[in-house]
């Protein structure tokens, strides 16, 4: 199974996924990304400030961007 | 591993939670039990099954889980040696969840009939096992609070604190480390997260210098800090100092 990496950036904080996750295909990676993004955003619990963005990038083993999910917080 | 070893695990466990007099200890030691080795991933009992014996964990880990309609699995508890995860099968039939070995485990079966006779012979033991089921439900209350109200980082931290504390009672965690053969998916299914999110939380605990998690070994680098992040208060485990 191909491995996918899920990196997260939120304002100045960034998390680089060094471990990754083995998933059958891009569609499975998309499901994992949307569910994980939902869980991350739940835990932001007010810490997402207007003017900062939250973003998850899904990369394949070659390091190419497969998907991006972005949440833009505006006043 | 001998039968005597399994009996002594059970009496040691009962002594850890209650005062056990010699007559009651002798009753426990006369239970007919059968030891069995099980490979990791093997189901001990399945949802909907009727059983005529209880299963006590002697070595390794077991976990209870249920499968939702869409096939997704929720792990509802971890079990450490000395636990009898299907104790309630003495009174409730059929079993309403699955019990599975996390890694290779040693279990022993205690047939219901002699188990009930032992309880009939000793009100003291009846109270001790009753208390066991009450503590079991206290753990579930805490699990609900974690799933419902703790953030992902605290949920994983809380799970680690609980495991370390319960393992210390049965002498299986040293001051700072213990074995835990769970995969990323197992941890995710226990804490209500996706594997990706669970992995990110474990990396955060690592980056904060609170734990190391290499292969199957969890090392506690700062247990006090971890407990405070997890909002962990061991009172709900209702432990007693072993005598």
* C-alpha pair distances (Å), B157 with each of B63, B109, B152, B205: 18, 33, 9, 8
Domain annotation for chain B: domains and CATH numbers: 3-141 (2.60.120.10), 150-237 (1.10.10.10)
- Residue A74: per-residue pLDDT: 82
- Residue B20: per-residue pLDDT: 85
Q: In this structure, what token pair is assigned to residue A14?
A: 């960034």
Query: Do the beta carbons of residue B106 and residue B60 sit within 8 Å?
Result: yes
- Residue B171: per-residue pLDDT: 78
* Interface test with chain B among A28, A36, A41, by most B beta carbons within 10 Å: A36
Q: Give yes or no for a cis peptide into B94 (omega within 30° of 0).
A: yes
Q: pLDDT tens-digit profile of A30-57?
A: 999 999 999 998 888 777 788 888 999 9
Nearest to A6 among B152, B184, B196 (CB): B196
pLDDT at residue A5 is higher than 90: yes
Residues of chain A with C-beta less than 8 angstroms from the C-beta of B153: 43
A21 vs B195: CB contact, 8 Å cut-off?
yes
**Cα–Cα distance, B18 to B131 (Å, whole number):** 9
For tokens 């061991």, the residue is B234
* Interface test with chain A among B196, B199, B207, by most A beta carbons within 10 Å: B196
Q: pLDDT tens-digit profile of B10-46?
A: 887 787 777 788 899 999 999 998 899 999 999 999 9
What mean pLDDT comes out for the span B176-205? 95
**Cα–Cα distance, B78 to B188 (Å, whole number):** 13
The DSSP letter of residue B71 is S
Burial of A25 from C-beta contacts in 10 A (0-12 / 13-18 / 19+): exposed
3 state DSSP class of B155: helix
**Residue B174 neighbours by CB distance under 10 Å:** 12
Read off the pLDDT band of B242 (50, 70, 90). Answer: very low
ipTM score for this prediction: 0.86
Q: pLDDT tens-digit profile of B94-132?
A: 999 999 999 999 999 999 999 999 999 999 999 999 999
What mean pLDDT comes out for the span B66-76? 94
């Amino acid at each position: 199974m191909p491995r996918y990496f899920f990196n997260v950036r939120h304002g100045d904080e960034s998390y680089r996924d060094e471990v990754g996750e083995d998933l059958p295909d891009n569609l499975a990676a998309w499901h994992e990304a949307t569910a994980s993004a939902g869980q991350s955003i739940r835990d932001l619990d007010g810490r997402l400030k207007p003017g900062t963005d939250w973003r998850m990038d899904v990369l394949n083993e070659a390091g190419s961007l497969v998907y991006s999910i972005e949440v833009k917080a505006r006043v | 591993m001998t039968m005597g070893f399994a009996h002594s695990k059970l009496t040691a466990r009962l002594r850890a939670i209650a005062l056990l007099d010699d007559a009651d200890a002798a009753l426990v030691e006369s239970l007919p039990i059968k030891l069995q080795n099980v490979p990791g991933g093997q189901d001990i009992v399945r949802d909907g099954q009727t059983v005529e014996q209880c299963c006590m964990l002697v070595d390794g880990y077991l976990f209870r889980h249920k499968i939702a309609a869409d096939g997704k699995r929720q792990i509802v508890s971890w079990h450490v040696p000395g636990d009898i995860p299907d104790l309630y099968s003495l009174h409730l039939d059929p079993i309403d969840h699955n019990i599975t070995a996390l890694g290779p485990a040693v279990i022993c079966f205690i047939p219901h009939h002699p188990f009930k006779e032992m309880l009939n012979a000793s009100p003291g033991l009846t109270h001790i096992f009753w208390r066991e089921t009450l503590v079991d439900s206290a753990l579930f209350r805490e699990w609900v609070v974690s799933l419902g109200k703790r953030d992902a980082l605290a949920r994983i931290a809380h799970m680690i604190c609980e495991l370390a504390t319960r393992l210390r009672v049965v002498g299986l965690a040293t001051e700072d480390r213990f074995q835990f053969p769970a995969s990323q998916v197992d941890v995710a299914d226990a804490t209500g997260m996706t594997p990706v999110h669970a992995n990110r939380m474990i990396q955060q605990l690592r980056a904060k210098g609170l734990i190391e998690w290499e292969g199957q070994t969890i090392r506690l680098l700062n247990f006090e800090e971890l407990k405070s992040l997890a909002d962990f208060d061991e009172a709900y485990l209702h432990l007693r100092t072993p005598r």
